[in-house]
Amino acid sequence: MKKLFAIKIISTVLMIGAIGLELGHIYALKNQLQIPNIISPIFWVERVAVAVHLIEAIVAAFTAGSKDRIWYKYGVYTFFVGTIGLVELFREENKSMIK
């Protein structure tokens, strides 16, 4: 359980950092600032991570909405914690089916 909590915290911090990095990149492009080429791979990894988390958030929001849960809370939560949010949502769903 402590491992999951640590992963949630790390994932949230990394997603906030990714958003900040992308905002910094947009600012640099808008103000015609030079970005070092060595940072380019970091931007691509960050963009893939944000895209994957966004897809997971959309899946969680639709799933939560169809199960009469608050869809936007699950969507935002899953965006920041990633797959763990989906696992928790589906585990909750399975528990309700068993009862």
Q: What is the pLDDT of residues 51-71, one digit of tens each?
A: 999 999 999 999 998 888 899
> What pLDDT shows up at residue 95?
61
CA distance 71 to 78: 11
Is 0.75 surpassed by the pTM of this model? yes
Task: Give the domain extent around 91.
Answer: 2-98
**For residues 20 and 30, is the Cβ–Cβ distance under 8 A?**
no
The one-letter amino acid at 72: Y
Work out how many domains the chain is built from and give that number: 1
Eight-state DSSP code of residue 30: H
